[in-house]
Structure 1
Amino acid sequence: MMRLTSQNRYRDGEWNRFVSVAAEHVQSVNSTTDMLKKQTQLKNTTRYGGSSRRSLATLSNFKEPVK
């Protein structure tokens, strides 16, 4: 029976480096996602001057009734 540990493609050092690079990538993706969420929230609040896009919809409900 062959010993897989000696012929493994990922030796311990290579595997640890792979895992650390993958973890850094996940952290950068998460921080980018958080940044984009904050930008979107900021854009929605500054566009209509309200807390969200719903503020525009509530203003449009107060039109004069049609006679």
Structure 2
Amino acid sequence: MFYKKNLPGWERALRVAAGVGMVGFGLFGGLPDAVIGYAIAGTGVIALLTGFVGFCPMCAMAGRKLDR
């Protein structure tokens, strides 16, 4: 199944940077070995994946499309 990209390049880069920061903070920062730390890291992984792939399911459900 192929998805059409619905994220512009600047937002993809921002999501990757924020995802790396969230994973780092959740696992190694102020909240190691806490449930909330793992939740933050999991959210960071989702941000990383949407940044790399260029498709966000929540944006697609809201009807967002990338202008070409």
Structure having the higher helix fraction is 1
Shared fold (TM-score, shorter chain, > 0.5): no
Shorter-chain TM-score tier: 0.3 to 0.5
> Looking at both structures, which has the greater relative contact order when contacts are Cα pairs under 8 Å and sequence separation is at least 6?
2
Q: TM-score, normalised by structure 1?
A: 0.35
Q: TM-score, normalised by structure 2?
A: 0.35
